[in-house]
Amino acid sequence: MVAIIDYDAGNIRSVENAMKALGEEPRLTRDPGEILSADHVILPGVGAFGDAMDRIRSYGLDETIREVVRRGIPFLGICLGLQLLFDSSEESPGVPGLGILHGKVVRFRDDMPVEIHDGREPGHQDDAPAAAGNDRYLKVPEIGWNALAYPNPGRLFLGIPEGSYVYFVHSYYLVADDRDIVTAQAQHGVMFDASVEKGNVFACQFHPEKSEKMGMQILRNFLDVN
């Protein structure tokens, strides 16, 4: 059984639908017993870091998530679910994250000029007209398809070529302390950490459930972890 942690965040239903498309019977739940009896656990989410941590703590899910990690149950954080695993976010100063992995979440600088090559930003699939002078300011949030680079091997990306495109929607990005856990990066003004893996813990800033064929393969690879 795949448990999808329900803490009143956005984008949970699309993850549920992706699991069903892969032949799974997912359960949306915040019940600790159900979560800890699952074969795989997913923490999705779209929203504000501080509000999400408040809800997770109010439901007692912070300790449940830590117990999932301690027990070695395969765990996947998606988008906000990745950010919550780390220590802090510039979005919500003074609000601690789960601290299961170490690093910080910082905001893209929308005052950063970016170079345009052949009518598009480096890494991006969407065509965008170049501004005068061959640069323009960085778009924040990043919304759209972006290519992945693999600094370290990752089980989520088995059978998925480097340079494959996945779908992002975010204004904040991860800077992981331990560079050895970073399994994918992407370029948006800066090279940012797009996926991490440590033991049974996996997380990605992009949305695999919205990333069509490549995204479904990433989710399938996660389900193959046991």
Give me the CATH number covering residue 12. Answer: 3.40.50.880
Structural tokens at position 123: 């890494």
Q: Is 79 a catalytic residue?
A: yes
Q: Give the list of residues 6+ apart from residue 78 with CB closer than 8 angstroms, or none.
A: 11, 15, 42, 43, 44, 45, 203, 204, 207, 208, 209
The pLDDT tens digits for 59-93 are 999 999 999 999 999 999 999 999 999 999 999 99
89-103, 107-121, 159-173, 210-224: least confidently modelled range: 107-121
Rounded to the nearest angstrom, the gap between the alpha carbon of residue 103 and the centroid of all alpha carbons in its chain is 14
Active-site residue, selected from the candidate residues 16, 40, 79, 204: 79
pLDDT (mean) for 211-217:
98
Structural domain count, the chain: 1
Q: Where are the alpha helices (DSSP H) in 72-133?
A: 80-84
pLDDT (mean) for 21-27:
97
The HSE-up count of residue 70 (CA atoms within 13 Å, CB side) is 7
pLDDT (mean) for 90-101:
98
Measured between alpha carbons, how far is 194 from 175 in angstroms, rounded to an integer? 9
**Closest among 150, 155, 144 to 220, alpha carbons compared:** 155
Active-site residue, selected from the candidate residues 40, 124, 170, 207: 207
Structural tokens at position 122: 């480096």
89 and 97 Cβ atoms separated by less than 8 Å: yes
The pLDDT tens digits for 123-175 are 665 533 333 334 578 999 999 999 999 999 999 999 999 999 999 999 999 99
Q: Residue 33 CB: number of other CB atoms within 10 A? A: 9
Task: Please provide the distance, in angstroms rounded to a whole number, between the alpha carbons at the two ends of the chain.
Answer: 12
Measured between alpha carbons, how far is 170 from 206 in angstroms, rounded to an integer? 8
Q: Residue 212 CB: number of other CB atoms within 10 A? A: 13
Confidence of residue 118 (pLDDT cuts 50, 70, 90): very low
By residue range, what is the domain housing residue 133?
Answer: 2-223
Q: Please check the confidence at residue 209 and state whether its pLDDT lies above 70.
A: yes
Q: Residue 151 CB: number of other CB atoms within 10 A? A: 14
Q: Please check the confidence at residue 11 and state whether its pLDDT lies above 70.
A: yes
